[in-house]
Structure 1
Amino acid sequence: MVRSMTGFGRATSEEGKERIISLEMKSVNHRYLDMNIRMPKSFIALEDKIRRVVNEKLNRGKVDIFINYKNYGHNQAEVKLNTMLADSYVKCLSELEERYSDIKNDISLSLISRYPEIITLEEKEDDLDEIWLEVKELLEKALIMMVDMRMVEGEKLSEDIAKKCILIEDWVNQIDSKSDVVVENYRVKLKDRVEELLGDLQVDEARIAMEVAVFADKATIDEEITRLRSHIIQLRNTLALNEPIGRKLDFIVQEINREANTIASKSTDIEITNLVINIKNMIEKIREQIQNIE
């Protein structure tokens, strides 16, 4: 099954829970599997686990993962009193009182409590093991959605590429039917040209035959046509594989383009040249589509 590299997935924990986790992921084409994960700092320890789960489902693509977390539970923070620091502040204030006895003393608990770090608010750490179970479940749901979307898109790409292969195959057949005519046309044109130049003098048929043979050897495209047909069959067979095929398809398309270029370089017939141009234009369209296949 052909899979595209474009996809989207989303999953959110059930409403009514004290904590809500939402996870979104999107992917586009990329040469390798490249993951970018954005999540709360408290979840950093889960990054390797997240990557392993994604690696099991995806092979290529640039994947962006966004995790949002909100905790509505009670008692998620605790007030801490730093008594040692408070003692130090009081001691300093007492020393100031003794040193500057003529200045009014207004030391109070409310004053001391406002000094930095005397009273702090600390959030309780979440249980990462429990968090991971929720994140993993959401990640797997989002991956199912993304993979399904990539498969639907990949099937559309596969069908369109198969249609383009039919067109290329038809143009190859037309080139094949014209290739034999090219040599005969060359022989007739060469003979007419020689007769025009020689006038009443006798034409050396053997020399013309030799020139035609040399031309035929240089202009023959039988091997290129055979390889083109073979590559098209390979492309179709590859589309039917149930595995990542993007790189393999890219190589096959390069080979098809190589054979088309060779035919173009040998061609002296305008119709064959135009057919090769059609093939190359279609190859370029297929190449663009293959860039998005996993």
Structure 2
Amino acid sequence: MAQSMTGFGSAEQGGCRVEIRSLNQRFLDIYIKAPSFLNQHEMTFRNVIRDRFSRGKFDVSISLSGEATAGLKLNKEVAGRIFNALRSVQEEFAIPGQIDINSIANFHDMFMEQDVSYDIEEIRRVFGDAVDNLFAMRDREGQLLVEEISRIVGVLGAMNDEMKARSAQAAPEAAARLKERLMSLVDNQEIDPARLHQEIAVLAGKSDITEEIARFDCHIQQFREVLGSDGIIGRKLDFLVQELNREVNTMSSKSVDYKVSKLAVDMKTEIEKIREQVQNLQ
């Protein structure tokens, strides 16, 4: 099932609360904000997300309260090094005064957070529940995106059918206009009919968009097939959006018919709507 890259999931139990927000992004980026004593478990949390998602920016918040909070513990080894370093500086530069608690209070490195009471397995379970809730929300949002994109693809298919019909009608009209223009340029002088028809055919061929219409139809069919498939489809659809845009741009540049040009502009508007929606799909 296609997934949206935007979503939110949270879970809470035993003083532990986990919130995860995800946004659309080309690659996978994970930012975790948690008490420092959980740093040693950060890779575990990251791997849980990597196992479930392939793209997106993830902002993770792990907060603890009540019994599952962290306290401060003196790192005696670091404190001793700080004290000795201060004493060496004092002796080296003959600095008067006493080295007391005020002298070392601002050296935060000598303190480290220590858990008072927490269960890492419980925190992992809460984290897993938050990931499950995020996954479910991204699934729901993804289904809505697929439905909306499918609707717009249907509109584009109908517009391309209209383009096909108008192009077929416009071709003889354009040929007639070209013939009239050429006749006026030669000022009713004798002209070889075969050469005239040849020139008209060359000019008409330059404005023919039959191939572009056929390729557009093919891309629409591919779009529908990808939308109906499972797994990661965002990048595939992004490529097809570029191809649709390329064909319509060519139709617009080659056509000499006002209605075809206007229809091409309308098609580009619908393609842009799809592009915006596809950016949110994993």
Q: Give 3-state SS (helix, strand or coil) of 1:169's partner.
A: helix
* 1:243 paired to 2:246: no
* 1:193 paired to 2:181: yes
Report the equivalent of 1:41: 36
**In the alignment, is the contact (CA less than 8 A) between 2:37 and 2:113 conserved in 1?**
no
Q: Tell me how many residue pairs correspond in the alignment.
A: 252
Separation in structure 2 between the aligned mates of residue 124 and residue 284 of structure 1, nearest angstrom: 51
Separation in structure 2 between the aligned mates of residue 123 and residue 183 of structure 1, nearest angstrom: 80
**In the alignment, is the contact (CA less than 8 A) between 2:73 and 2:114 conserved in 1?**
no
Q: Report the Cα offset of residue 202 of structure 1.
A: 4.7
| Aligned with 2:53 (options 49, 55, 58) | 58
**In the alignment, is the contact (CA less than 8 A) between 1:30 and 1:62 conserved in 2?**
yes
**In the alignment, is the contact (CA less than 8 A) between 2:16 and 2:65 conserved in 1?**
yes
One-letter amino acid matched to 2:256: T
Separation in structure 2 between the aligned mates of residue 240 and residue 66 of structure 1, nearest angstrom: 34
Q: Report the Cα offset of residue 274 of structure 1.
A: 0.7
Report the equivalent of 1:4: 4
* Structure 1 residues 124 and 192, CA gap change in structure 2 (3 angstroms): closer
**In the alignment, is the contact (CA less than 8 A) between 2:36 and 2:113 conserved in 1?**
no
* Structure 1 residues 174 and 145, CA gap change in structure 2 (3 angstroms): same
Summarize the alignment of residues 45-194 of structure 1 with structure 2, pairs less than 5 Å apart: 45-72=40-67, 116=101, 125-126=114-115, 131-194=119-182
Deviates more, 1:5-14 or 1:248-257: 5-14
Q: Report the Cα offset of residue 211 of structure 1.
A: 1.4
Separation in structure 1 between the aligned mates of residue 175 and residue 120 of structure 2, nearest angstrom: 78
* Structure 1 residues 7 and 215, CA gap change in structure 2 (3 angstroms): same
* Structure 1 residues 219 and 78, CA gap change in structure 2 (3 angstroms): closer
**In the alignment, is the contact (CA less than 8 A) between 1:183 and 1:215 conserved in 2?**
no
Q: Give 3-state SS (helix, strand or coil) of 1:241's partner.
A: coil
Deviates more, 1:4-13 or 1:131-140: 131-140
- How far does the alpha carbon of each residue in 1:4-63 deviate from its partner, in whole angstroms, 9 at most, with x for none? 11111111114xxxxx21111111111111100000011110100000011111111110
**In the alignment, is the contact (CA less than 8 A) between 2:6 and 2:21 conserved in 1?**
yes
**In the alignment, is the contact (CA less than 8 A) between 1:190 and 1:208 conserved in 2?**
no
**Where does the alignment leave 5 or more consecutive residues of structure 2 unmatched?**
81-99, 103-110
Q: Give 3-state SS (helix, strand or coil) of 2:230's partner.
A: coil
TM-score between the two structures when normalised by the length of structure 2: 0.81
* Structure 1 residues 78 and 141, CA gap change in structure 2 (3 angstroms): closer
Separation in structure 1 between the aligned mates of residue 126 and residue 7 of structure 2, nearest angstrom: 16
**In the alignment, is the contact (CA less than 8 A) between 1:38 and 1:65 conserved in 2?**
yes
* Identical counterparts, % of pairs: 35
| Aligned with 2:26 (options 9, 27, 31) | 31
* Structure 1 residues 159 and 77, CA gap change in structure 2 (3 angstroms): closer
Q: Report the Cα offset of residue 77 of structure 1.
A: 8.2
- How far does the alpha carbon of each residue in 1:121-180 deviate from its partner, in whole angstroms, 9 at most, with x for none? x9994499x733112111111111111111111111111111111111111111111222
RMSD: 2.9
**In the alignment, is the contact (CA less than 8 A) between 1:194 and 1:203 conserved in 2?**
no
TM-score between the two structures when normalised by the length of structure 1: 0.78
**In the alignment, is the contact (CA less than 8 A) between 1:12 and 1:22 conserved in 2?**
yes
Report the equivalent of 1:256: 244
Separation in structure 2 between the aligned mates of residue 148 and residue 245 of structure 1, nearest angstrom: 17
Q: Give 3-state SS (helix, strand or coil) of 2:256's partner.
A: coil
Separation in structure 1 between the aligned mates of residue 224 and residue 66 of structure 2, nearest angstrom: 52
- How far does the alpha carbon of each residue in 1:227-255 deviate from its partner, in whole angstroms, 9 at most, with x for none? 10111111111111110111111001001
